[in-house]
Each structure stands twice: as structure tokens, then as C-alpha cells.
Structure 1
Amino acid sequence: MPELIFSRPLKPADPHFAEQLARLENPGNSPTRSGGRQKRALAITRKLWRPGRTLKVSFLGSPDAALKSAIFRTASQWLTRSGANLALALSTDNDPRAQIRVRTGRSLPRNESCAGTDALAMPAETMNLNVEPGDAAFEHVVLHEFGHALGAEHEHQHPEASIPWNVEAVVHAAATQSGWTRQQVIDEMIARQADVGLLRTQYDPGSVMHYPVPQAFTHGDWEIGLNSHLSEKDLAFMRRAYPFQAAT
């Protein structure tokens, strides 16, 4: 059975409060509606930070300095390589005012992060990382989770993705290894996002925001490996999300 590297988002207890904070942080996050009938309309609230922001990153529990440095250096690639109008700054340990608060440790059950401004509604950690430098998945996990922290969505749920999922195989693996329910598998892996209100590029199987998809999880000859580097479309997304001038 393929080993899972999947993670679920870290969600605030009060999603409505989180949406209010998202709109206060960035008016461009205001919801967009879709649906032919009002009762079926779907409201999508973006979770992007205000362009020009410097986001403080604090590590909880005073972890090893080399680990903090490796994580911060890897995460910073999102902004140093894209040239987006956003910045990360390393804060002191256990800083409750930092927008991104990272807990690390092998004992953590999973890697997870809040989606963008959802972090503003979290009372404690906004990200959990159980990987260390030298792990095969270190770069993928750190870039993936910090991508979420900066507002990037899962690429395997892109509206244009046409992954030939073997749903029963995925459900079995996720239930056995991670205790996921069938509905969690559908919500976090299989279901494509509604094509409304999303800031995105074309579907990119090389994105670091794409889950690895082993052959055993699909029908036919289809798989995606472990993407451990930012793709050009990853960088293009970040520039669109955080421009230096507002679009006209």
C-alpha cells in the first residue's frame, strides 16, 4: 500500500469569524457567489493576505535552531523566487502576535496548516510540521504547508483537474493509514473546487500544492510523483495573489 503524505487543513473553530477577519485583512477577499438559483448559490471567501504585508513566522516550543533555519529558508522561496509583494520575517520563539505560528516535532501526528488568513482566528499554532531536513519529503511538506499559509489551494482539486481516481483504493488507504472517513477523502482529495472566486493558473500537475498520486490510486496509466520544487505556475500564482499594483 502506498505511504500517504496527505494532510488536512487546520481549520478555525468559528469559520464565520474567520471570514470576517479575511475581509478586514484584504477587501479583495470579499465573497463571490455562483449558482443559478439563490438557494444553491455558493459563496467563496478568499483567504489572501493584504499585499505588501510582512508576515511574522514564530516557532513554538523553542525547537532546534538548525531546524528553524532550514524550514524558514525553504518556505521563503515562495516569495524570494516569485518576487510577490509579500514578505516573511522570522520572529522570536513563542510570539503570540506572529501571523504564522509553527509547532514542530516528530511526535506530531500530521503536517497541516491554516489556509491563509484563517490563521488570524487561531488561538495557538497555525501550522504543524513533523518533518526534518534529510527527510525525502522535507522540501515538499514545508513548501506545501507554507503555500497554504500564503493562501494557495490544493492543485489536485483544481477545477480543470481530471484525475482518474480509483476512489475505493484511496478510501481504503486513507482509512487504514490516517483514519480518514470516506467523506474526508472526497472533500480533501477527490472533489474539484467550484470554478468561482478562485485566483488560479491553469491546472499544473507539477505544482508543489499537488498531492503525490501513486499509480495504485488511479485507473489506467496515471500518477504524480512527489513535487519538491516550486513550479513556474506556483510562482506565477504568488505574483497574481500579491501584486505591487492592484488590478484595474
Structure 2
Amino acid sequence: MTVRHCSLPPQPAPAYPPGLAAERLGALIGGRRLWVDGTVLHYCFFGDDTAGSEIAVPGTGRTRWVPWGGAEEQQDVVRECFEEWRGLGPGLTFTEVRDRTEAELRIGFQLGDGSWSAVGRDALRVGVHERTMNFGWDLTAPGERATALHQIGHALGMLHEHQSPYAGIHWDDEAVYAELAGPPNHWSRDRTYHNILRRLGPDEANGSVWDPQSIMQYALPPGLVLEPEQYHGGVHPPGTLSPADKEFVLRRYPPADPPLPPPLVPFRSVPLGLGPGEQADFRVDPPETRDYTVGTFGEADRVVVLFEERDGEPRFLAGHDDGGTAHNAAVTARLVKGRRYYVRVRLYSAWGPGETAVMCW
């Protein structure tokens, strides 16, 4: 095989309490990596030699320093791909920043470390001086622009398409292991299983139908797929955004409503009235400078995110996901009089009777 593949590192499965209803659990699994709509994702590139990795030099007992910075032409490919995703018009957008502490997505170009990305909101669990995305080979080579589109798909919350339970793929397992163990990937059996053979749950899949043309689908050589029969000769996605990829991003991140969201006034609760997967946005103009808490009420699973407006765009301040617990999501932060803040509340599902609401105090 001459094709290099994205290699997502294994992540621990979320620990939800036993006994959750299937509908509630499915909503949590399907939405836990998604950003709230209206988020501005800030990305930055590691651009100097101060950030990098110590790499063992085989057979010497020594290590060498490998910086994470990438050449301008490599960065330009990634910028163009962010613009292509943004051009679809989702309610989530991207902005490049220079300060890595201001970025949710931090991008390195360490050769030999593979190409990979944190999936969706998993990026928030990565330290601010660490990478959330890496490109391990030349993106300017023919066909490799697809690698950048693919990793940004992961950053949006998409997973590998060939692992969809709706694909109905019957693999020749040992042929897959042998193929990926060779150059240029040199993968272990565990890595191959995690990125290819492991089947996703139906609530994790990007869509309810397999899309072999997806940017999230691996190119596969002949001899790995036993069924469906038409793929005995391999799977050959075009390396571009498919109609289903575009549908995913617009369904999960519908274009944001441009009017100013309604105010959230201290000590005045607002009913939410949301359906599963829906979102409500509010603005907060604090009457005084102090610590405020924004919290939800009612028996439901929600994620609450607080943003501060800086230079005309929302910047992430704090968030809380109460999914799968008996608690209500709440965040506390110091808000400054004269500045504007935004609260976004997305519902996974309501699991009890009565209304749900949000309030700040």
C-alpha cells in the first residue's frame, strides 16, 4: 500500500451511569463531541522551534528534537481547507490566531508522527501547549489536500466513514492487518483495529447511510473488502467533500440566525422549550462586575457554553456538559460590566417531566 492513512489515537469511552434509557444514551453518544452552534473555532500553527517532541533515534539510545512547526506552503493548504469547510455556510466558523493559548485547535507538522486530530470537543481536553492536530507528511503532494480536509472533518466531530455500522463491510481481517503493517503506515494490530476494523455504534456514525465518497472514507486497495462485492477491487473516494459531508455539517451546525439573541437578565429564568439536538442562544450584558453563574433547570441532558465578545467575535470562556448525570449544567465566571457575553444551551434529550429553563444569577 502506498497510501498513508489518518491514525486516530484511542480515546477512553465515556462513562455513563448504568440504566440510562436507550434514547437518552443514544442522544449523549451522538452529540457529545459536537460544538455548540455559533462557535468560532480559533486555530493556530506551531511556527517556531520552541515546541516539539523528543524522538528516539533507533539503535543509538539517544533522542533528537523534532519541532512541530510547518513551512508556509504546508500551512496554506490547511488554511485553504478551513475556508472550503467554512464556505459551506455552517453556523460554526474558523479564525486563525497567532497565540496558541487563544486557540481551540493547535496544529503541528511533525513528520513521521502520522496525521491525526482530536475529534470535536475532545480538543478542549488537550493542554494549551500541546497539539490537537498533526500532519505527518507533505500536504502539497498530489492528492494530499484530502488529508487536511479529512482532519478538519474530525475537528468538526466526524468519525471514519468506513467504520460506519451502515456500511455492511465484511473485511478480510488478516489481509487488513498485513496491509497496514507494511510501509508506509507500519501500524500495530491495535492501531489497525481501532482505525479500520472497529465498528462504530449507530449513534456515532456520521449519517444513517454509508457514503463511500466521503472525505472521511479511507482509500482502500483491492483484497481487503469481501463484501459488498462491488468493492472487491478497493474503495476509491475522490478526496473531496461529498454531498453527504456537506449535509452533515449543515445538519449538525445549521446556519446561525444573524439577529441579536434575546437577553438573559440576572435572576430571571427563561423557559427553553427545546427538542433533542436543538439550541437556544442568549446575550448577557452584566449590570455590574462580579462573579456570575449561568445554570439550567429541569430533568434533561444539556451542554452550556459561555462566550465573551472580543473584537466582534465570541471567545470561549467556560462550558459544562451534564450529560448522563442527575445534575444540571452550570458555569461560573467573572463578567465585566460594559462587555457582552453569550450563552448557548444545546439539548441532548429531556428525560423527565416538566419544563427546562436557564437563568443567570
TM-score bracket for this pair, using the shorter chain length: 0.7 to 0.9
Match of 2:345 in 1: none
Q: CA 1:130–1:237 in 2, change beyond 3 Å: closer, same or farther?
A: same
Q: What is the match of residue 241 of structure 2?
A: 230
1:15/1:90 Cα in 2 relative to 1: closer, same or farther (>3 Å)?
Answer: farther
Q: What's 2:214 paired with? A: 207
* Separation in 2, partners of 1:11, 1:79: 28
Share of identical aligned residues, percent? 25
| Amino acid of the structure 1 residue aligned with 2:44 | S
Q: Provide the alpha-carbon RMSD of the alignment.
A: 2.8
Larger fraction in helix: 1
Deviation at 1:198, TM superposition (A): 4.9
2: distance between equivalents of 1:192 and 1:91?
36
Q: In the alignment, is residue 110 of structure 1 matched against residue 114 of structure 2? A: yes
1:97 aligns to what? 102
1:119 corresponding residue in structure 2: 123
Q: Alignment partner for residue 43 of structure 2, among 40, 49, 57?
A: 57
Q: 1:131 to 1:32 in 2, by over 3 A?
A: farther
Tell me the distance in 2 between the aligned counterparts of 1:240 and 1:136: 31
State the structure with bigger RCO (CA 8 A, min sep 6), 1 or 2. 1
**Residue 33 (1) aligns with residue 38 (2):** no
User: How far 1:11 sits from its partner (Å)?
Assistant: 5.7
Shift of 1:191: 2.6
Provide the C-alpha distance between the structure 2 equivalents of 1:103 and 1:230, rounded to a whole number of angstroms.
23
Highest CA radius of gyration, 1 or 2? Answer: 2
Distance in 1, Cα, partners of 2:160 & 2:24: 19
- Which stretch shows the higher mean deviation, 158-167 or 190-199? 190-199
Question: Structure 2 residue aligned with 1:172, among 178, 183, 206?
Answer: 178
> Are residues 101 and 184 of structure 1, via their aligned partners in 2, closer, same or farther at CA, if it must alter by over 3 Å?
same
Q: 1:227 to 1:162 in 2, by over 3 A?
A: same
Structure ranking higher in strand proportion: 2
How has the CA–CA distance of structure 1 residues 183 and 32 changed in structure 2, closer, same or farther, with 3 Å as cutoff? farther
Structure 1, unpaired ranges of 5+: 20-30, 35-41
Measured in 2, the distance between the counterparts of 1:233 and 1:180 equals 29
* 8 Å contact from structure 2 (residues 176, 224) kept in 1: yes
What CA deviation, in whole Å up to 9, does each residue of 1:13-71 have, x standing for no partner?
A: x7769x9xxxxxxxxxxx9426xxxxxxx966620111101111100134333332221
Q: How far does residue 146 in structure 1 lie from its aligned partner after superposition?
A: 0.7
User: Where does residue 20 of structure 2 map in the other structure?
Assistant: none
| Inter-partner Cα distance in structure 1 for 2:71 and 2:134 | 15
Query: What SS class does the counterpart of residue 237 from structure 1 fall into?
Result: helix
Q: Distance in 2 between matches of 1:201 and 1:221?
A: 20
CA separation of 1:210/1:49 partners in 2, compared to 1, >3 Å: closer, same or farther? same
Distance in 1, Cα, partners of 2:182 & 2:138: 25
Hey, what does 1:46 align to over in structure 2? 32
In structure 2, runs of 5+ residues without a counterpart are 17-22, 49-69, 258-276, 280-361
Q: After superposing the two structures, state which structure 1 stretch, 155-164 or 203-212, moved more.
A: 155-164
Separation (CA, whole Å) in 1 of partners of 2:131 and 2:221: 31
The size of the alignment, in residue pairs, is 224
Q: Is the 8 Å Cα contact of residues 77 and 148 (structure 2) preserved in structure 1?
A: no
Return closer, same or farther for 1:210/1:7 CA change in 2, 3 Å cut-off: same
Render the CA deviation track for 1:163-187: whole Å, top value 9, x for unaligned: 2322111101222333433343233
Shift of 1:75: 2.6
Distance 1:45 1:212, change over 3 A: same
Q: Distance in 1 between matches of 2:251 and 2:30?
A: 18
